[in-house]
Structure 1
Amino acid sequence: MRNINLKGTEHFEAVARLGSVTKAAEELGVTPSAISQQIKLLETQFGVRLFRREKRRMSLTEEGDRLFQATTRAFAALRNTGNAISRHREVRNLTLRVSPSFGVRWLGPRIASFAEQNLDWNIRVDATPDFSNFDTDAVDLDLRYGVGGWAGVAERPVMNDLVLPLCAPGYRDRMAAAGDTVAERLSAARLIDSVKAMFRWDLWLAANQVELEDYDYPFRYDRSSMSIETAKQGAGLALDSATLCLPDLERGELVPAFPDIPVVDFPAYWLVCPARHFNRRIVNRFAEWLDDAAISHDVRARALLESHGCSFQTESGPDLIEVEPWGLSRS
């Protein structure tokens, strides 16, 4: 690279591309004589003629054409890269991380409305169960599923989870034919286990004093979205989140299996980031939009469940085995 006359190559490429010393001089902001001098130096370095000079016309020689093919591609790539870098510097990005099921079933259908209100921002969403390490990850905020209390970060509650047994209407009718008690109906059901959910069947059974002699999980999923879809297909009974499947409940594709048993109601979704991130205007703007969307959704979800005859058991977290049972005899 030290042996290449980069300035001469740049001047040569401009003349060959534009077909004129004068035009090349205008583009590069130099005099025509400077252009001519650099081309002569380049011809001297290579020991060949690069242009044929015929009166006022300049045409490439064979060697000149070979050099032009190489240089025009190289300079075009450099120009494109430079433009891309400049555009990237001017673009504003909001990057957030969210649990997969919440991202797909709740945030995904709504994020377009936030984007419409913030057209000058690019939005990147990473759907993963892994929390961000804000010291090393280029992430503005997390939407976390959990009980809160994470060290070293600020957290704001976004929305409660509303957990209850859910199934397709026809499946509820088949369970009802198995007996009058909750235990009899559950014994006839194929239970769907969401293995990463904070509130699972063993906690629900203990809290409601439901005793089953033997039960297993024909379906076990690490994503609530899969549990919900399986229940919708009439294949089993899911203990899962009405927060994540409100549209399915509104369409009647899912129904509460036991509406007389209170819905488990606890804070489960949080906006999490270092406290300093709330100094960023876009983070606060997103937090405000998120609050409005969550409140609207929560009102709809509670109203729908109440229309099915459901009530709510408010808890501070999912570990209900350590608290007093709800006083319901369901065996």
Structure 2
Amino acid sequence: MLKDINLNAMNYFEAVARLGGISKAAEELGVSPSAVSQQIRQFEQQFGVRLFKRDKRKLTLTLDGERLFQTTTQAFRMMRDVRSAIQRQRENRHFNLRVSPSFAVRWLSPRLKEFLDLAPNWAVRIDAAPDFSDFETEVVDLDLRYGEGGWTGLHEEAVVHDLVLPMCSPGYLEELRALSDDPIGQLRQARLIDSVKTHYRWDFWLARHGVMGERMVYPLRFDRSSMALQLAADGAGVVLESSTLALDQLESGALVPLSTAFEAIRFPAYWLVCPSRHTSRRIVRIFSDWMREAGRVHDARAAELITGLGCRIREQSGRQLPGEEYVGE
């Protein structure tokens, strides 16, 4: 049985037979020549045969030794090949994720260590870019996309909802209240900050709320939600934006709802998207499981915050405007 074989002595025997001498084997194994000689003697005693012919300082394999060497060298070669393959596989464990820029900075980045702790041996590359992945031509495991879903031919799963509402700094709100007690009137006097890549834009929102007028212009337009939110927090105007991206500023009071008369619109906004074949990849499953739980915790926290600020929440589903695509944020 295998447990009866001295595997350490077999390792010494294979090295001596392969290298053609005890000194060379000792150097490779990092031991003394006497230790090698002792192991060879024990190995021969275990098999009850001579494995080497000793002629002065020259060693040659006996017939039994040759038979054993052919078996052991093949076994050790296979083991070395498997070890190399395992090492290469470990070195090649890469996870490539694409995610919209503002979400990457404001939401994913502060939580990323939680995921890295679940996958400590993986090399993670995150591409914070507004464009969706072309999975057929790019090396991307998973997209964390902003949008409405409905990407033909791809697996998709909503993992984070959004709550959109008009927000501004407390100081700017006081300026607007000095001009009007009516939230609609305040909006007509406000400088509106437009996030051009968001799902809900001012044109749509204002029309739904019957807010029209000559002064309804957007002198400030940004293609990054993070820039629009920061400008609003600095007191430059009112932004119609994501509480998901503004959660820390809402909690700290740097941003406040323009009015509790306006509902927060809730809809599934951030999606895991990839070809169906990618869902069988271990790292994709690990990240997806983590995102589901992180999204669930976030959604509960955001809803509690918004209602705590006095705003009602209205569920919204379906596309904003027929045929439009929303990318990036």
Cα deviation, residue 321, structure 1: 9.5
Q: Does 1:269 align with 2:270?
A: yes
**1:160 counterpart SS class:** strand
Q: 1:229-263 deviations in whole A, cap 9, x for unaligned?
A: 00111111110000111111111111101222111
Aligned partners of 1:175, 1:271: CA distance in 2, in Å?
40
The aligned runs of 1:151-166 (5 Å cut-off) are 151-166=152-167
**1:108 counterpart SS class:** helix
Using the size of structure 2 for normalisation, the TM-score is 0.70
What code does the residue aligned with 2:90 have? Answer: E
Counterpart in 1 of 2:257? 256
Counterpart in 1 of 2:124? 123
Counterpart in 1 of 2:90? 90
Cα deviation, residue 87, structure 1: 6.2
Q: 1:276-307 deviations in whole A, cap 9, x for unaligned?
A: 11111221111110011111111111111101
Counterpart in 2 of 1:172? 173
Cα deviation, residue 90, structure 1: 2.5
Counterpart in 2 of 1:221? 222
Cα deviation, residue 212, structure 1: 2.2
Counterpart in 1 of 2:105? 104
* 1:183/1:211 contact within 8 Å kept: no
* 1:228/1:245 contact within 8 Å kept: yes
The aligned runs of 1:58-77 (5 Å cut-off) are none
% same residue = 50
* 1:207/1:321 contact within 8 Å kept: no
Q: 1:300-319 deviations in whole A, cap 9, x for unaligned?
A: 11111101111112111352
The aligned runs of 1:1-331 (5 Å cut-off) are 89-91=89-91, 92-319=93-320
Change in 2 beyond 3 A, CA 1:167/1:105: same
What code does the residue aligned with 1:212 have? Answer: G
* 1:93/1:122 contact within 8 Å kept: yes
Counterpart in 2 of 1:11? none
Q: 1:26-62 deviations in whole A, cap 9, x for unaligned?
A: 67xxxxxxxxxxxxxxxxxxxxxxxxxxxxxxxxxxx
* 1:228/1:238 contact within 8 Å kept: yes
What code does the residue aligned with 1:172 have? Answer: L
Cα deviation, residue 264, structure 1: 1.2
* 2:188/2:211 contact within 8 Å kept: no
Change in 2 beyond 3 A, CA 1:89/1:284: closer
What are structure 2's unaligned runs of at least 5 residues?
1-22, 29-84, 324-329
* 1:182/1:210 contact within 8 Å kept: no
Aligned partners of 1:321, 1:171: CA distance in 2, in Å?
34
What are structure 1's unaligned runs of at least 5 residues?
1-21, 28-84, 323-331
Counterpart in 1 of 2:65? none
Aligned partners of 1:214, 1:176: CA distance in 2, in Å?
17
Aligned partners of 1:309, 1:106: CA distance in 2, in Å?
24
Change in 2 beyond 3 A, CA 1:207/1:123: same
Aligned partners of 1:319, 1:173: CA distance in 2, in Å?
31
* 1:183/1:212 contact within 8 Å kept: no
Aligned partners of 1:289, 1:260: CA distance in 2, in Å?
36
Aligned partners of 1:303, 1:129: CA distance in 2, in Å?
29
* 1:97/1:141 contact within 8 Å kept: yes
* 1:169/1:253 contact within 8 Å kept: yes
What code does the residue aligned with 2:149 have? Answer: G
**2:244 counterpart SS class:** coil
* 2:225/2:241 contact within 8 Å kept: yes
What code does the residue aligned with 1:259 have? Answer: T
